[in-house]
Structure 1
Amino acid sequence: MKAPVSEQRTLLDLQAADTRIAQLAHRAKTLPQQKRLDELAAQIGAVSHRLAGTNGELEDAQLEISRVESDVEVVAARLARDRSRLETSSSTKDIQGLEHEIASLVKRQSDLEDIELAVMERMDEINSRLAVIIEEMAVLVAERDELTVSRDADLAAITSELAGVQLNRDLIAGGVGDELLALYNRQRERYGIGAALLTRGISMGSNVKLHESDLAKIRAAAPDDVVIDPDSSCILVRTEESGL
């Protein structure tokens, strides 16, 4: 393939733009904040699970104490009724029955109050654990929010620069013929680099000094011949620096 020397040299600017685009894309994917944000997402998920479990414990305890309090009210009402009946009863049999029932209710009331106290103590312990988990969550969320703002700012800067570089790249590509541009794009997609400078016999595409036999072929090529690097397969751009 043949192409004007000026277009071949333009490929160096095009490659520089594509290299910068690749660098920016890599930076966008590997922002240091993102790694920590991924870690925080896992930590927040684990803490959320603990928070849900602890809230469930608290709800269960609240339901239990509600049931106990309801039972205490029922027992207290029966005690009040039996004591009232005891005061007005004249039957020995009824009195004995009431006294026995009152004793049983007093025991039941005491047991229920013990249960109520135990549940309240458990609720205090659950609330203490809940407060620690909530504080832990607040710290993680604050760090996540701060890092998200920082990451988004960096991404915005990268996106802005990327847009400018892409626009410049398109302008540069407009100065290259279709056939040469197609070859450049094909080589870049296949091998990672589309064009490189040959300087003092060294290909900047592979950073390797070419063999003398390869250099001899390049010296024999016409200035408008498109030369391919035998090592990196990119287009070799020849200038006064090439040492030919």
Structure 2
Amino acid sequence: MKAPVAAQRRLLDLQAADNRILQANRAIQTLPQQARLAELERLSAAARAEYGAASGELEQARLEISRIEADVETVSAREKRDRERLASSSSTKDIQGLESELASLATRRSTLEDAELEVMERVEGIEATLAEIATRRDDLATEERLLVAERDAQRGTLERQREAATSERAAIAAEVPADLLALYERQRERYGIGAALLQRGISLGSNVALTAEDLDAIRRADPEDVVLCPDSSCILVRTEESGL
């Protein structure tokens, strides 16, 4: 294949634009904030689960207090009834029975009050735990919001760079002959690079020095002949830097 020297050299600009597009795409896919955001998502999910479990425990503890308070009310009602009966009773047997029952009720009341105090202390501990989890959850949410804003700003910058490189690429590609452009695209798709400079006998497509035999063949080629790198298979662009 033959192509004008200027068109072949323009491939270097095309490859540079493609490199910038590729770099922008890779940078967008590997934004540094993403790893921390993934970790924050995991930590936030764990905090939500922890908060939910503690909330359930708090609800159960409060229900337990309500049951104890209901039992205390029942005991109080029985104590009131027994005291009224005791005040009006003249039977020694009834009095002894009522006094014995009142003693049992007093023991029951004391047990219930101790249990209520214990559960109330547990409630205070759970509430403190919930407050700590809520603070941690809010801190995680704040960090996540800041990181998302930072990530989006960086992504926006990269996307604008990619758009600029894409526009530049389109303009350059329009200047390249169709058959040369097709070869460039084919080699780039197959081997990852479409064109590279031959610089002082070294192919920048492979960063390998060409053999004397390969260099001799290139020297004999017409300037408009399109030559390929023997190692990377990209189009080798010859300039004054090529050392031929």
Q: TM-score, normalised by structure 2?
A: 0.92
RMSD: 1.7
2:78 paired residue number: 78
Residue identity over aligned pairs, in percent, reads: 58
Correspondences of 1:131-170 after superposition (within 5 Å): 131-170=131-170
2:109 paired residue number: 109
Deviations 1:65-115 (A, max 9, x none): 111112111221222222222222344443333333222222111111000
Q: Is it true that 1:40 corresponds to 2:40 in the alignment?
A: yes
Cα distance between partner residues in 2 of 1:3 and 1:208? 25
Correspondences of 1:27-106 after superposition (within 5 Å): 27-106=27-106
Q: Is it true that 1:214 corresponds to 2:225 in the alignment?
A: no
2:186 paired residue number: 186
Shift of 1:147: 1.2
Deviations 1:107-132 (A, max 9, x none): 11111100000001111122222222
Task: Report SS of the residue matched to 2:170.
Answer: helix
Shift of 1:13: 0.8
Q: Which runs of 5+ in 1 are unaligned?
A: none
2:20 paired residue number: 20
Cα distance between partner residues in 2 of 1:69 and 1:162? 69
The one-letter code of the counterpart of 1:42 is: R
Shift of 1:137: 2.1
Task: Report SS of the residue matched to 2:237.
Answer: strand
Task: Report SS of the residue matched to 2:175.
Answer: coil
Cα distance between partner residues in 2 of 1:51 and 1:177? 65
Cα distance between partner residues in 1 of 2:154 and 2:133? 31
Cα distance between partner residues in 2 of 1:173 and 1:122? 73
Cα distance between partner residues in 2 of 1:166 and 1:66? 69
Q: Which runs of 5+ in 2 are unaligned?
A: none
Shift of 1:195: 0.5
Shift of 1:211: 0.6
Cα distance between partner residues in 2 of 1:179 and 1:173? 11
Shift of 1:35: 2.0
Cα distance between partner residues in 1 of 2:99 and 2:108? 14
Structure 1 ranges of 4+ moved more than 6 A: none
Q: Is it true that 1:119 corresponds to 2:119 in the alignment?
A: yes
Shift of 1:12: 0.8
Cα distance between partner residues in 2 of 1:178 and 1:187? 14
Aligned pair count reads 244
Shift of 1:149: 1.0
The one-letter code of the counterpart of 2:206 is: S
Q: TM-score, normalised by structure 1?
A: 0.92
Task: Report SS of the residue matched to 1:175.
Answer: coil
The one-letter code of the counterpart of 2:99 is: E
Deviations 1:125-164 (A, max 9, x none): 2222222222222222222211111111111111112111
The one-letter code of the counterpart of 1:72 is: V
Cα distance between partner residues in 2 of 1:66 and 1:177? 86
Cα distance between partner residues in 2 of 1:31 and 1:5? 40
Shift of 1:210: 0.8
Cα distance between partner residues in 1 of 2:7 and 2:71? 93
